Amino acid sequence: MRTIEQPSNVLLTQEEMRELIAQAQAGDIDARKQMIEGNTRLVWSIVQRFASRGVELEDLFQIGCIGLMKSVDKFDLSYDVKFSTYAVPMIIGEIQRFLRDDGMVKVSRSIRELNYKIRHATDEFLKTNEKPPSISELADMLGVTKDEVLVATDAMRDPASLHEQLFESEGDSITLMDQMKDEKSELPFHYVPLKEVLAKLDKREQAIIYLRYYLDLTQTDIAERLGISQVQVSRLEKKILAQLKQWMDTNNTSRSTKKTVNK
């Protein structure tokens, strides 16, 4: 693969990107190239998440760019959703497929062969029974243990990304991370309307939270994007988090009080 490119300094607005995407999908090669070059920073920020996987970053960058190009080609302009919301899971998925197919997750030949037999046996079972076989039935058919069946099927299963887009509703993308919860989330007064809380922040503060915790950019990267110093970003981040915590604590206290009164 070729040498990694430096992220472009060109920052495109959402309107510019939608226009370029429309032109690219209509066959405009220059528009497609401009769209790719204008989003190399997005790819680079995602690539850095996989820095510890033992693969050259320039290789991952090129794979990420493939995911970016697929995003441009498949992005549905009829939905009112940001391009990055759609592109991030696509880029991550492309990189994960490369890491898996390139053997980053080592799976022995015997497990691969057993997995093939499991899939073949499952297909044959479905033809006559019209339902998939149980683990026990597969183990009996193949002459192996139930544990061996479980190991083989789990080893070849695609890893799930926390940023994987599960579905989209009214322009809002729902990811696997959005669906995760802990025991505290079962309690009504622990519910925090995060979207409403974040809406209280000004545009720059919202941008910092988005870049820092959604795109996983460093404070230095954010400073460069916003045209301020890294120290300023650090101070603003601390201030924003403290403010969010205060709002959330107030919200939870209010809900707890209402619950007590209602009793």
Q: Read off the pLDDT of residues 200-239 as tens digits, 9 standing for 90 and up.
A: 888 888 888 888 877 777 888 888 888 888 888 888 988 9
β-strand partners of 173: 168
**Nearest-angstrom CA–CA distance, 116 and 119:** 5
pLDDT, position 159: 56
d(CA 169, CA 81): 10
Higher-confidence residue of 254 and 209: namely 209
Alpha helices (H) along the chain: 14-25, 29-37, 40-47, 57-74, 83-101, 109-129, 135-142, 146-155, 176-179, 194-199, 203-213, 219-226, 230-262
Percent of the residues in the chain that have a pLDDT greater than 90, as a whole number: 17
Distance between CA atoms of 257 and 181, rounded to whole angstroms?
23
Number of domains in the chain: 3
User: Would the pLDDT of 21 be above 90?
Assistant: yes
Mean pLDDT score, 163-181: 54
Which pLDDT belongs to residue 35? 92
Q: Give residue 20's pLDDT band: very low, low, confident or very high (50, 70, 90).
A: very high
Amino acid at 78: S
- Give the pLDDT confidence score for residue 104 in this predicted structure: 46
Q: Which residue has the higher pLDDT, 3 or 163?
A: 163
Q: Do 53 and 72 touch, CB atoms closer than 8 A?
A: no
pLDDT for residue 183 = 46
Taking the CB of residue 185, how many other CB atoms lie within 10 A of it? 11
Same domain, 5 and 53: yes
The 8-class DSSP code of residue 39 comes to T
- What is the band of 84 on the pLDDT scale with cuts at 50, 70, 90? confident
Residues 99 and 119 in one domain: no
How far, in Å, CA of 6 to CA of 183, rounded?
Answer: 44
Question: Higher confidence at residue 146 or residue 105?
Answer: 146
Domain match, 93 and 113 both: no
Residue pair 66/98 in contact (Cβ under 8 Å)? The answer is no
Looking at residue 33, which CATH number applies to its domain?
A: 1.20.120.1810
Question: Of 103, 128, 145, which residue sits at a domain end?
Answer: 103
- What is the predicted pLDDT for the residue at 3? 41
Q: Among 245, 216, 236, 238, which Cα is nearest to 88's?
A: 216
What rounded mean pLDDT belongs to the chain?
77
pTM: 0.40
Domain identity same for 33 and 83:
yes
CB 167 within 8 A of CB 174: yes
Least confident of 59-63, 74-78, 236-240, 256-260: 256-260
DSSP per-residue string spanning 200-231? TS-HHHHHHHHHHHTS---HHHHHHHHTS-HH
Token pair 């898996």 is found at 100
Strands (E), 134-187: 165-169, 172-175
Structure tokens at 88: 């991030």
Q: Is residue 179 a contact partner of residue 168, using CB atoms and an 8 Å limit?
A: no
Q: Is residue 11 part of a domain?
A: yes
DSSP string, 231-260: HHHHHHHHHHHHHHHHHHHHHHHHHHHHHH
pLDDT of 2 reads 40
Average the pLDDT over 161-190 and give the result.
51
Rounded to whole angstroms, how far apart are CA atoms 234 and 145? 55
Domain that holds residue 11: 1-103
* Confidence (pLDDT) at 187: 41
Grade residue 108 by pLDDT with cuts at 50, 70 and 90: low
Q: What is the pLDDT of residues 127-137, one digit of tens each?
A: 788 778 888 99
So what's the pLDDT on residue 154? 74
- Confidence (pLDDT) at 211: 82
* In a domain? residue 164: no
